[in-house]
Structures are given as structure tokens and as C-alpha cells.
Structure 1
């Protein structure tokens, strides 16, 4: 997503009369790795970054950005505190927070699947995981299991879920752990026990890994589905992203989460253009209140707490006969303006 935005802008003249260069550092999917990466970049004079793709990384780097004179736009962390009690003036979240994402999904699923009266939730054993449970359940959760993201065997958690009286399951762990949980759970009939299974954003990576074994009752968060409405015809930037993803990846079949990183890149590029500067104070000022178009629709970043607000999406995930063998269908759109809490930087959010 970042490379697609870079290529498009560079082909159209770059930024401030120069070509955009991307400098990459690996955060090693850990808090310590994220801190090391942002410190290394700052030491090399890179003061504007896209990073903190997960909540633990966001919580780790946000407090040190001011001392580094750096600004970070984050594409995916949901933990509430990073725009509340742990607010940093140098950190911007171009993503849904936990209330918007999990509260929105919880309300949607409770309405759409009215016959499912109770839900089990499995979430990371972390601050963000507790946010998942707090905002999803809305009083309808029958059982909760917390799981480490750094393990290969989910037998204990699966056993807990299978022994619950719940009719529906929401999986709040993402990426490889989510896929592992579903693969292991299928062996004991977890996909058949629950009338519906929801997940928090692993999306097409599940269907790609599981193929025809993908649960046929699986719904998940999606960031972008260019072949479906409203992405297909409502958002011009979606068509642009499709064009440049093909150039960058050599295939149109990529996980929708590329739109999240693309959105973060667009936020930075538009802010630098607006500020006519790459200096940290100028970029911060330009990001505050910024409004721009994305592949998922209009987007804005609140000045007060640096929370991004647009739309979030949910879709049915599954295998199919047409290439590439998996896909999304029946996209549901949620307006985050109707879900988001009032800005309160520096103060803990309470239900």
C-alpha cells in the first residue's frame, strides 16, 4: 500500500518538487523492535514515518516521539488509550479505534444475526485484547478466552470455546494466530459448533491459507474489496489503488489491509503538501484536521486527539471457484462518525 502511494505520487511529480523515498526498518512485530526502529530512523534524520501496525507497538513508541522530534501515522492499532490517557501530540491513528471497530462489529453482528443470543470471544492477553472484549460484547458474551500471540498450540483456548454455551464466536486475535486457531479448531468441529464466526481483520489471509476448508459462516473486518461495492464505483481512489497495486505486486489479489497502509501514506503525503514542509511541527499542524480521499472513502483526522474517522467495513469471507480461489462478498459499511466517542486526549475512555 505504501509503495503504491509512493509510485503514484512520484509519477505525478513527487512531493515538494522531489521524488518520494521510502526508508524501511523492521519492527520485528514487537514493542522493543518498534522502539529500536523509530530511534534508528530518527537518528538517520527520518522524522516522518508510517508505523505501529499493531497496538503494542503503538503504545511503545508514542511516548518517545516528542523527544525524537518525530511524527508517526499508524495504519492499524486499535487500543483506546493511545488517543486517550496515553495521547502523544506526535502520534496519529489513521485507523479505527477499538470502540469504533469492535463496538461497531458487535452491534452489527447482534443485529444481523439476531438468532445468535450469546457470543464467545477470544482476544489477545493484552490491553488491546481487553478493549476487544469490552466493546464487542455489549452484554451478550457468554465466554471469554485470552490467548498469547506467540504460541503455536491453541488447544486450551479451543477447548474453552467448545465448552461454552455460546452460539456465535468472535476472534479478536489476528494474522497467523487467527489462522492457526481456525485450522486447529476445524479438527474438533469448531466451525460447525458456532452459527457464525466473526474475525477482526485477518480477512483474505484466512481464505488463502485454508482454501475450501474456510468456515462457510465466517465474517470479518475488511479494509478494501475493489471488486465489490461501494469500493468498485463510489471511490475514485480505489480504482487508482487497484492500478498501482498491480504495478507493485504484479497481481490484483492482495489482502485488503494494503488499503490501511496506503491511507496512512496518503495522510502523510497530503499533510507535507499542505504544510509545504517536512519539518515535524509543520507536519503535525497539517495532519490535525486533515481531510482527504482514500480507497475506502472520505477520511478526516480529528485535530483534538489525532483519531482518524471514515468508514469501516465488514464482509463474508470464503472460498470460491473463480481465481484466486477465495474472496469476499456482501460488504456492509459502518459510518464511524456515528460510532466514535467524543475526543478526550489525556483522559481514559469509560463506557
Structure 2
């Protein structure tokens, strides 16, 4: 677990890590900033993740500017609330691009990022999508002007299965509770594929896969589905509903004893959303997360990000989303410095194949499909007798390079 002492010790070395992104000049021309547009949901249902992204990009820009900026120029962020809405995001992208802002990031919605691809090409911009998770973005909907600095959903679910093989390798029967969406079904299939791949080799147990419980989105009543789950003889449970749906489902499941029935639960990506809402009633589970500072105690950039966030916000622990916005700004900074330019074509060329340091370690942007390779992480959350009502009692991570699918831009992931 990272403590204040660990953070301060790492922060002493953070200047070295930050300056490794290039020889940024000490002192810069404040009247000639590098403008980066940040379109992210700052209101509406997706506001929680959008606010985290905003915090991450702000911290990154402040850190870089404190080191002298990039090519002697400060980074200037221009925020827009896209509400995770395609029409609104498209209009805002046109506005930013029309005003000369050709570098954009922050988009959390897969449908928004897919819609913005043609806009980026037509108006000569480049977009790093921050939390957009659809597999199609670097496959059938690949666009040469769009990059993803976070992991693919395929790598994330396989990584979660590999962690399950290490942490719950004695469990044989597995089922799932998944939303009736492409994401829900594909996540389950990928997780199951990972169980079959990793369990025989690492756990010595051949997993038995039971049919998942498929639930609707935005339901107010999950009781019949919970009853079906209670009849299913699983030991390990994969879970892929999100946000308010997850809170509703697990609140309604409490009288049934669903979380007591499950010997282990693996969540696809709620981070701390459910725990913060349910407090002492939160389900105990291993949850996939973009970044957990406790996994990176030896990383000065992670320690500096944690320290800067803790100094500004009274909302600990920080969501993993924060590190994704942070990584996006550092990706642009490294690409601009490498290219010696902010021109779109030069930045795109520099991003392809680029390695850069982040709070989760070194990431590599594949040249073939504009997709980053990064560490896959999870945390174990459980109820606790403290002011939050819950705690993180364990964490794990696995390298992403062997988990990610081969590049196939323009073709659907099989």
C-alpha cells in the first residue's frame, strides 16, 4: 500500500522522470501556447469519469509546464463538455478544429470517438480517445487520425482472467452477470477464453463454464435475474454491468445473499464507482482498473500524480481514469517534442511506434493500428469499518504485451 512517506520519497525523483520526456526549455513563450482541446463529459450520466479525466489532464499539463513546457511553449487546455453525446461532441470538435486546435483528447464514449474519426481526417486533426473501450475502434472502425492510449477491452478481460487464475485458481465453476450489449457479450467471451487459457497452465484446474445471466440495461428491477443467478451453481462470478445498474443490482441482491454465494467476483471496470455509492454494503470483488497507485510504488511519475491529486482533491483513493487523461497529455508532449512540431501529420508520425513513460509504466503505441500496449491491473475491494465503509486490501497487475490481440486495422476482431 502506498503511504504518504512512499509518495514523498518518490516525488523527490519525479523531476527526473518528468524531464525524461524531452529537453523542455526552462522558461517559455507564454504568448505562444500549445493548445490541446479536451472534450469530456463534465455533466450528465458520465460526469464521474469525465471529471476524473479533467483532473488527470490538468495535473499533466501543470507538471509539464512547471518543467518549462514543450519546445519552449506551455500547454494550454481548452475544455468542452461533450456530455458523451455524439452530436454535441461532433459540433465541439468542429468548433475547436475551426479555431486552430488540431490536437484533441478526453473523449470517453466509444460512439463519440468512432463518430469523430472522419471529422479528424476531414479537418486535419488528431484525437487520442481517453476511455473509449469498444474493440471496433482499432479494428473495423480504425482511423489513421485516432489513437487509443489505454488498453484494448480484449487485453483487459484476458488480463482480468489471468489475475483470476492467480488469485482464485482453486475455483472450477464460473458464470457471469452481463448486460445484453455487444460489450457485455464480448467481455464475457473474452474473459472465458482467458480462463480456459490461463487456468490449466497456472492454476492446474480446468474451468467449467456455465451460461451467464444476461440482464437488461437501465433496469429498476433485477430480482428475477438475481434469482436465476442464485440457482446457478457457480463458484467464481464475472460481472460486467456498470454504474447505477451495478448499484441497483447489488442492492437488490443483498437479501438473496448473492455476494456470499460467490467465492470470488471479478468486475470488468467499475473502479470505485460502486464502492463509493454502496459504502459498507459494497460487494467484495476484484475490479479491473486503469491505474492503481499501490501497484506502482517504484514509479516516480505515479507517485507524483498521486501526490498532486491528493493535494488538490479531497476524494481518495483516486480513480484510475485520472491516469488515462494524464497519459494522453504526456503522449502529445512526447510526440510534439519528437516531431519538433504540432502539425497534425508530424504528430501522427511521431505517435506511431512511440514509447513514453506514464503513471502505469512505459507504454508503446503500435504503429499498425494506433493502439497502446500497457499494464493490466486489478484491485480487491471489500467492506471495512472505516469512514469510507470499504477498503482496498490487495492489488495485482500483469504485463499487457502478451494479452493484447494482433493488429488488424479495418477488420473486425474475430
The TM-score, its normalising length taken from structure 2, stands at 0.76
From 263, 286, 289, the equivalent of 1:222 is 289
Q: Structure 1 pair 155/264, CA: closer, same or farther in 2 (3 Å)?
A: farther
Residues 80-107 of structure 1, C-alpha deviation per residue, up to 9 Å, x if partnerless?
Answer: 2211121100111111112211122123
1:154 equivalent in alignment to 2:222: yes
Residues 203-222 of structure 1, C-alpha deviation per residue, up to 9 Å, x if partnerless?
Answer: 22222222221223x11112
1:117 equivalent in alignment to 2:172: yes
Q: Distance between the aligned counterparts of 1:173 and 1:68, measured in 2?
A: 36
Residues 32-51 of structure 1, C-alpha deviation per residue, up to 9 Å, x if partnerless?
Answer: 44334433332333221113
Q: What is the aligned partner in structure 1 of residue 377 from structure 2?
A: 313
Q: Which stretch has the larger CA shift, 192-201 or 23-32?
A: 23-32
Q: Structure 1 pair 281/2, CA: closer, same or farther in 2 (3 Å)?
A: same
How far 1:291 sits from its partner (Å)?
A: 0.7
1:341 equivalent in alignment to 2:405: yes
1:182 equivalent in alignment to 2:250: yes
Alignment of 1:1-351 (within 5 A): 1-138=56-193, 140-216=208-284, 218-226=285-293, 228=294, 230-232=295-297, 234-250=298-314, 252-321=316-385, 324-350=388-414
Residues 191-237 of structure 1, C-alpha deviation per residue, up to 9 Å, x if partnerless?
Answer: 12211111122222222222221223x111123332x2x411x2111
Q: If you compute each CA radius of gyration, which structure gives the higher value, 1 or 2?
A: 2
Q: Distance between the aligned counterparts of 1:322 and 1:286, measured in 2?
A: 47
Q: Contact (CA 8 Å) 2:279, 2:388: kept in 1 or not?
A: no
How far 1:287 sits from its partner (Å)?
A: 0.9
Q: Structure 1 pair 165/42, CA: closer, same or farther in 2 (3 Å)?
A: farther
Q: Distance between the aligned counterparts of 2:81 and 2:231, measured in 1?
A: 40
CA RMSD of aligned residues (A): 2.4
Q: Secondary structure at the match of 1:329?
A: strand
Q: Structure 1 pair 81/10, CA: closer, same or farther in 2 (3 Å)?
A: same
Residues 137-185 of structure 1, C-alpha deviation per residue, up to 9 Å, x if partnerless?
Answer: 2265422344454444434543443333322221223333333322232
Q: Structure 1 pair 182/89, CA: closer, same or farther in 2 (3 Å)?
A: same
Q: Contact (CA 8 Å) 2:383, 2:391: kept in 1 or not?
A: yes
The total of aligned residue pairs comes to: 346
Residues 242-288 of structure 1, C-alpha deviation per residue, up to 9 Å, x if partnerless?
Answer: 22213442555322221122112211222122222222111111111
- Structure 2 runs not aligned, ≥5 long: 1-55, 197-207
Q: Structure 1 pair 245/143, CA: closer, same or farther in 2 (3 Å)?
A: same
How far 1:316 sits from its partner (Å)?
A: 0.6
Q: Contact (CA 8 Å) 1:143, 1:161: kept in 2 or not?
A: no
Q: Contact (CA 8 Å) 1:225, 1:328: kept in 2 or not?
A: no
- Structure 1 runs not aligned, ≥5 long: none
